[in-house]
Chain A
Amino acid sequence: MNNDIYSKYLVKLPTMWCPGCGNGIVLQAIIRSIDEMDLDLDKVVFVSGIGCSSRAVNYLNFDCMHTNHGRAIAFATGIKMANPELKVIVLTGDGDCASIGGNHLIHACRRNIDLTIICMNNSNYGMTGGQYSPTTPIGSITKTSIYGSYEPPFDLCDLTKSAGASFVARAATYYPVQMKNIIKNAINHKGLSFVDCASDCPSLYGRLNRLSDAANMMSLWKDRLVTIKQAETMSSEQLQGKVIWGEFVNNNDREEYCDIYARNISKAKESING
């Protein structure tokens, strides 16, 4: 069964990711979610930017576009508007979508265009050797914060929710089955869906912060992760250092951008016909 899934959806293995990297778990959750859905695989397009996460498209047996750093969402917007029939999935990372591509992220959320954005959030720039990113927790040691990171990080779910995304969720590599289900809901959702995938970079972030090996890093999530329901009953002191996961927004009331644009076309045609 596993091998069938790999040969159906993946090409050019093995991946370039380090042992213990969370990206493989996210990629597996993506293809397993697609495998459970009834999608026309010829109509699915993956778009990515630059970074370890964005390398994922180089292993996928789909229409794929590996673009420039931060720009995946801009390219994806053009693809979707050119052919709204296509299911467009953006694979990105914390540096790619929240730093250099932050502007495209918030504007895609504002438009509520039907893209699925999956962010492999490993709290650092892995491809360049482990520098701090916009999601690095304060105090973390990275190659550019050897005295401890001092910049306040983004909560990407808060950010995308505020910007107007109609589906916002956080999944974690610690819970791969739940991640698969969340990604499935995100892909099925009509409108901008954003999934923040809490992930690990043992080779760089883990090593620099003396978190031991990949298995140990993974086990640390057990105490850190709390569900939205659990968080509701916890005080702000109890939530210190915790990561809340689950579906924060799943709103079908907001009109999707391709539909909005279709109304614009109707108005334009009315203006010349009557």
Chain B
Amino acid sequence: MGSYQIMTGNEACARAAIAAGMSFFAGYPITPATEIAELCSELLPQNNGVYMQMEDEIASIGAIIGASAAGKKVMTATSGPGFSLMQENLGWAHINEIPCVIVDVMRKGPSGGSATLPAQADIMQTKWGSHGDYRSLVVVPNSVEEIYTETIRAFNLAEKYRQPVILLYDAVLAHMSEKIYVRDLDEIEIINRSKPSCDKKDYNPFNYESSKVAPLASFGEGYKIHFSGLTHDETGFPVSNQNTTGLEVLIHHLFDKIDDNYDKDIKKYETFMVDDADVLVVSIGITSRSAKAAVAAARKQGIKAGLFRPITMWPFPHDDFSRINLKSKAIVTAEMNNGQLNQVVIEDIDRNQKLVMKNLYDGNQIRDIDILNSIIEANKYEQ
């Protein structure tokens, strides 16, 4: 038996993380993510957990990576400016396959931008933010209840696939209150990282022979684990620049472990009235709620509209989206930025399909009426 509760998005994030087993949070205050840190500072020490207020966001992600290597489930939360600072250490967590959850509550940028205003302009940064090749895992909830459930899924994915997972939502979802259904702990599926069972001397922290991730020992358990941000082999020690195969297999593994398992439990999206849709709206997060209302309104006017909403933003479900949009004559992208989702879906649409972009970056949310007008415009297109 669960219960209905009223809470904000940021509160849902912190409570869900603790429900998922998070016992170590390091962060730095930043609007509009601060309430996550505040609640963690209150709740974690009540149950022997650690809240650390670090000197900056670089240190925050550094501390959670260290704590994860020492065996804890970890999280940090920030917004665009702090997320930018985290990029180098984020890459370190990828190359060393360290489970961690990073929350990016989007505010209007670039730079300091407008701290209290919402935006959805970090979509591409969450995919490409750190240098080099790696596979990002990003989830984008669109309600307070989904922040709760997706926070738990983010931890499960991080632990299972041994890598950072980014939870991405905006300032509106962070601060709005909604009634949500919270499951009891014993009803929630919780995944913990697999631990080694081999002889300690034989343990390697990495496995590059297949897309399976190696079990992760913790510091202090006697495995003599070696982590390095340099390109390393399965032992964790750096490989020589002359070893081109060795330099390549690490990158293959970072992609394969996600791509080979994508259809199992990574891919996630919502569709609404897409089966016969002439006009397919693509939207994420808070904007997808306006989009859904706009689709319903369009249907009332006799326009066959539908909604495709990624919940796993990265990797984007290209195959499914390509299949779903086959019958549509037009695609509408609705997003609070100057064009990021449109660049993703354009890879999957035909030259005789029309793309209509609804972008807003004045700090306001996109209204359903504005998306409806884009749907009406798109519906006029003759293939």
| Chain A positions 28 through 65: 1 when the CB is less than 8 Å from some CB of chain B, otherwise 0 | 00000000000000110101001000000110011111
Tell me the bound Cα distance from A256 to B310 in angstroms: 47
Tell me the bound Cα distance from A271 to B47 in angstroms: 12
Q: Is B63 an interface residue (CB 8 A)?
A: yes
Q: Pick the contact of B224 from A63, A79, A83 — CB < 8 Å?
A: A63
Given contacts A47-B66, A68-B92, contact A74 B59 (CB under 8 A): yes
Q: How far is the CB of A111 from chain B (nearest CB, A)?
A: 9
Given contacts A62-B224, A68-B92, contact A83 B219 (CB under 8 A): yes
What is the total number of residues of chain B having a CB less than 8 Å from a CB of chain A?
A: 44
| Secondary structure call for the A interface | helix
Tell me the bound Cα distance from A261 to B26 in angstroms: 14
Q: Do residues B46 and A78 form an inter-chain contact, with CB atoms below 8 A? A: no
Given contacts A63-B219, A63-B225, A77-B63, contact A82 B71 (CB under 8 A): yes
Q: Do residues B45 and A82 form an inter-chain contact, with CB atoms below 8 A? A: no
Given contacts A45-B220, A83-B219, contact A68 B66 (CB under 8 A): no
The stretch among B117-125, B156-164, B226-234, B325-333 that forms the contact with chain A is: B226-234
Q: Pick the contact of B67 from A12, A79, A85 — CB < 8 Å?
A: A79
The stretch among A136-144, A175-183, A228-236, A262-270 that forms the contact with chain B is: A262-270
| Chain A positions 115 through 141: 1 when the CB is less than 8 Å from some CB of chain B, otherwise 0 | 000000000000000000000000000
Which residues of B have CB within 8 Å of A45?
Answer: 70, 219-220
Q: Do residues A66 and B89 form an inter-chain contact, with CB atoms below 8 A? A: no
Tell me the bound Cα distance from A64 to B228 in angstroms: 8
Choose among B63, B89, B222 the residue with the greatest number of A CB atoms under 10 Å from its CB. B63
Q: Is B377 an interface residue (CB 8 A)?
A: no
Q: Is A104 an interface residue (CB 8 A)?
A: yes
Tell me the bound Cα distance from A65 to B92 in angstroms: 11
Q: Is A107 an interface residue (CB 8 A)?
A: yes
Q: Is A221 an interface residue (CB 8 A)?
A: no
Choose among A43, A61, A265, A271 the residue with the greatest number of B CB atoms under 10 Å from its CB. A265
Q: Do residues B229 and A79 form an inter-chain contact, with CB atoms below 8 A? A: no
| Chain B positions 35 through 76: 1 when the CB is less than 8 Å from some CB of chain A, otherwise 0 | 000000010011010101011101110111111111110100
CB nearest to B62 among chain A residues: A74
Tell me the bound Cα distance from A62 to B230 in angstroms: 18
Q: Is B248 an interface residue (CB 8 A)?
A: no
Which residues of A have CB within 8 Å of B319?
Answer: none
Tell me the bound Cα distance from A269 to B226 in angstroms: 36
Which residues of A have CB within 8 Å of B65?
Answer: 67, 75, 78
Q: Is A171 an interface residue (CB 8 A)?
A: no
Q: How far is the CB of B24 from chain A (nearest CB, A)?
A: 6
Tell me the bound Cα distance from A261 to B50 in angstroms: 8
Q: Do residues B70 and A83 form an inter-chain contact, with CB atoms below 8 A? A: yes
Q: Which of A70-129 contact B (CB under 8 A)?
A: 71, 74-83, 85-86, 103-104, 107
Q: Is A272 an interface residue (CB 8 A)?
A: yes
Q: How far is the CB of A259 from chain B (nearest CB, A)?
A: 14
Q: Do residues A43 and B220 form an inter-chain contact, with CB atoms below 8 A? A: yes
Q: Is B221 an interface residue (CB 8 A)?
A: yes
Which residues of A have CB within 8 Å of B88?
Answer: 68, 71
Which residues of B have CB within 8 Å of A42?
Answer: 220-222
Which residues of B have CB within 8 Å of A269?
Answer: 45-46
Binding site for A on B (CB under 8 A): 24, 26, 42, 45-46, 48, 50, 52, 54-56, 58-60, 62-72, 74, 88-89, 92, 218-230, 237-238
Closest 6 CB pairs of A and B: A78-B66, A74-B62, A78-B63, A268-B45, A82-B70, A82-B67
Binding site for B on A (CB under 8 A): 12, 42-43, 45, 47, 50, 57-58, 61-68, 71, 74-83, 85-86, 103-104, 107, 261, 264-265, 267-269, 271-272
**Can you name 19 extra interface pairs (CB under 8 A) apart from A58-B226, A78-B68?**
A42-B222, A45-B220, A47-B66, A63-B224, A64-B227, A71-B58, A74-B54, A74-B58, A74-B60, A77-B52, A77-B54, A77-B59, A79-B70, A81-B52, A82-B50, A82-B70, A264-B45, A265-B48, A269-B45
